[in-house]
Structure 1
Amino acid sequence: MRVGAYGILTDDAGNTLMQRSTELSQFAGAWWIPGGGVEHSEDPADAVVREFAEETGLDVEITGLRSVTSTVVPMTSEWSQHNTLVLYEVKATGGALRDDFDNGEGRNLWTPLSRLSGELMSPKTSTMLNLPGRWPAPTNGGRAPEPPPGMLLEQRVGAYAWLTRPDGKVLLTMIPPGYWAAGLWHLPGGGVDFGETPEEGLLREVYEETSQRAELTGLRGLVSRHDPESVTPDGRPSNFHGINIIWGARIEEETPLRILDVGGSTSDLRWFDVDEIADLPKTVAVEAGLSCA
């Protein structure tokens, strides 16, 4: 899986800054959103600021989290890549706009997004903009990238819920011994599997951990956590980078709480009043959810 961070920058006329590959590119004429891959241990918010400076010459500041989506892109006939796409809204604070021929991105152009429908664009761009686009078929051959040698270098996307019921209480889960935050209260949720959207992964995890059928109410935030000395549940050393996406969620009809994934990352679960949560031992994901409550 690969995580990318991208930014939507608009001018006073409502045009959006986009990149277009030159005729020298393998994908001549293709449109892209400024941004790129999140490096290991890097917060996606920092990544989009860095990528904007590298690709456009502009200094930007994040003004909001617009969406988190995903797509599976066939890279060759042999393998596909699952991309988690974090899209921010940004504003320019300095610098000077320039093209990016050195890095192969091409020209930076202001354009209304409506004119891009049906144009040549990557599946990632099409997904983030929710626009139909064209993209060449993958070439034959090629291999998936090999993991680096040595310590496990793990970048993992998780999806979590600030889950409420009609009386306003919030459902939290307890992390058991053997996991990175043993003894802390956490938000229900977990890792997104290959091919799942973050929303699909979240609803599956909530059901497995709590037996509740939830309805998502909106994106609330994102937390990046780096632990270079982490240990996996089976005892392997891991340089771990977790990118946790937080949604608001609710249940209309509560069912008895029950942990279906016995032996997993949940040992207890309980409904709490919001006022009780401040004094609990808790993860940064719960802190982030609480800040939006």
Structure 2
Amino acid sequence: MDRTMRVGAYGILSDDAGRILMRRATEATGSPDSWWLPGGRVKHAEDPADTVARTLSVQTGLDVEITALRTVTSAVVPMTDQWREHHTLIVYDLKTAGGELAPERENARNLWVDPTELAGQPMSQITSTMLGLSETGLPPGHGRAPEPPPGKLLEQRVGAYAWLTDPAGRVLLTMIPEGYWAAGKWHLPGGGVDFGEQPEAGLLREIHEETSQRAVLTGLRRVVSRHDPDSITPDGRPSDFHGINLIWDGVVPNPSQLTIVDVGGSTSEVRWFEPADIPGLPKTVAVEAGLDP
């Protein structure tokens, strides 16, 4: 069974009447009359926010600005009998910044729709989840085959991380050990999202493995990305690495003794810090992003 990962970024754009902009597939597609949010796949080394601006311009003719990060969700999609793909979808709220809406582009019609009218309409599991509607379903797959790996590993990895505080206001950070991309730097607790795993569930798992703490997530904070075209994997392979970091706010309501449960993994030390001490630390882009509320 082939298993692949895909990251997409999508936008919710509303008009003054409360309608949202949707795309309805034409007969030229494999799923005519199905409904989709505008947006698309995050290209290698592309920030998800840039993906939304690029795809909205191509698909709708509109220039947009992001007003908020709305949600992140994941689902495993059956592409063929022998292929499953894990989709991670990042959804932003948008506003129009220019351009003119095209009636039809990229094999879909662009329509303003009252969300309540979409109940029961054909759409993918992911689209219905993003809109908060009950799943209506589409036939599996999109007819494309998994791409063979290149000579140099093109690695696009989704990680879930948390800016965790305790009742005293301290922040929990982890140290990256030798052999990893940011050895010697302090990082946010968290890690890669496994195949078939929701980001929040993966984050809570990673927090416990790295720190032994039981955390409560309180909301999405930021999405940031990092591109390292000359990275080396822990097993020594050259990698063109694109990391997409989903950052949540969270609390540890009842701190316990800090212990690394997953000994020998990507964490060598874990420690509570006063917020004022963090700017002077050697730190990753995820911690930098966490400093910016």
Shorter-chain TM-score: which interval?
Answer: over 0.9
Identity of aligned residues (%): 65
Q: Given the two structures, how large is their TM-score scaled by the length of structure 2?
A: 0.95
- Kindly indicate whether the alpha-carbon contact (under 8 Å) linking 2:224 and 2:246 is maintained by their aligned counterparts in 1: yes
Give the corresponding residue for 2:230.
Answer: 229
Q: Tell me which amino acid in the other structure corresponds to 1:120.
A: P
Instruction: Measure, in 2, the Cα distance between the counterparts of 1:68 and 1:139.
Output: 22
- Kindly indicate whether the alpha-carbon contact (under 8 Å) linking 2:71 and 2:220 is maintained by their aligned counterparts in 1: yes
Instruction: Measure, in 1, the Cα distance between the counterparts of 2:148 and 2:28.
Output: 31
Instruction: Measure, in 2, the Cα distance between the counterparts of 1:99 and 1:76.
Output: 32
- Kindly indicate whether the alpha-carbon contact (under 8 Å) linking 1:219 and 1:248 is maintained by their aligned counterparts in 2: yes
Q: Tell me which amino acid in the other structure corresponds to 2:130.
A: M
Give the corresponding residue for 2:81.
Answer: 77
- Kindly indicate whether the alpha-carbon contact (under 8 Å) linking 1:171 and 1:272 is maintained by their aligned counterparts in 2: yes
Deviations 1:168-200 (A, max 9, x none): 111000011111111111000000000000001
Instruction: Measure, in 2, the Cα distance between the counterparts of 1:53 and 1:237.
Output: 34
With over 3 angstroms needed to count, the CA separation of the structure-2 counterparts of 1:168 and 1:115, relative to structure 1, is same
Q: Tell me which amino acid in the other structure corresponds to 1:276.
A: D
Instruction: Measure, in 2, the Cα distance between the counterparts of 1:133 and 1:203.
Output: 26
- Kindly indicate whether the alpha-carbon contact (under 8 Å) linking 1:8 and 1:16 is maintained by their aligned counterparts in 2: yes
Deviations 1:213-237 (A, max 9, x none): 1110100001100000000011110
With over 3 angstroms needed to count, the CA separation of the structure-2 counterparts of 1:121 and 1:231, relative to structure 1, is same
With over 3 angstroms needed to count, the CA separation of the structure-2 counterparts of 1:144 and 1:215, relative to structure 1, is farther
Instruction: Measure, in 1, the Cα distance between the counterparts of 2:200 and 2:100.
Output: 38
Q: What SS does the aligned partner of 1:75 have?
A: strand
Give the corresponding residue for 1:288.
Answer: 289
Instruction: Measure, in 2, the Cα distance between the counterparts of 1:80 and 1:26.
Output: 18
Among 125, 132, 135, which residue is 1:133 paired with? Answer: 135
Give the corresponding residue for 2:258.
Answer: 257
Give the corresponding residue for 1:6.
Answer: 10
Give the corresponding residue for 1:113.
Answer: 115
Shift of 1:115: 1.2
Among 20, 35, 42, which residue is 2:24 paired with? Answer: 20
The runs of 5 or more residues in structure 1 that have no matched partner are none
Instruction: Measure, in 2, the Cα distance between the counterparts of 1:34 and 1:200.
Output: 27
Instruction: Note the 1:79-228 alignment, pairs <5 A.
Output: 79-101=83-105, 103-104=106-107, 106-138=108-140, 144-228=145-229
Instruction: Measure, in 1, the Cα distance between the counterparts of 2:23 and 2:135.
Output: 15
- Kindly indicate whether the alpha-carbon contact (under 8 Å) linking 2:78 and 2:85 is maintained by their aligned counterparts in 1: yes
- Kindly indicate whether the alpha-carbon contact (under 8 Å) linking 2:9 and 2:49 is maintained by their aligned counterparts in 1: yes
Shift of 1:119: 1.0
Worse-superposed segment, 47-56 or 24-33: 24-33
Instruction: Measure, in 2, the Cα distance between the counterparts of 1:219 and 1:290.
Output: 14
Q: What SS does the aligned partner of 1:278 have?
A: helix
| Residues 1:45 and 2:49 are matched in the alignment | yes
Shift of 1:123: 1.5
Q: Given the two structures, how large is their TM-score scaled by the length of structure 1?
A: 0.95
Counting matched residue pairs gives 289
Q: What SS does the aligned partner of 2:219 have?
A: strand
Q: Which runs of 4+ in 1 moved over 6 A?
A: none
Q: What SS does the aligned partner of 1:14 have?
A: coil
Q: What SS does the aligned partner of 2:179 have?
A: coil
Among 66, 72, 77, which residue is 1:68 paired with? Answer: 72
Among 56, 60, 67, which residue is 2:60 paired with? Answer: 56
Give the corresponding residue for 1:277.
Answer: 278
With over 3 angstroms needed to count, the CA separation of the structure-2 counterparts of 1:139 and 1:198, relative to structure 1, is closer
Q: CA RMSD in A?
A: 1.5
The runs of 5 or more residues in structure 2 that have no matched partner are none
Which one has a larger percent strand, Structure 1 or Structure 2? Answer: 2
Q: What SS does the aligned partner of 1:125 have?
A: helix
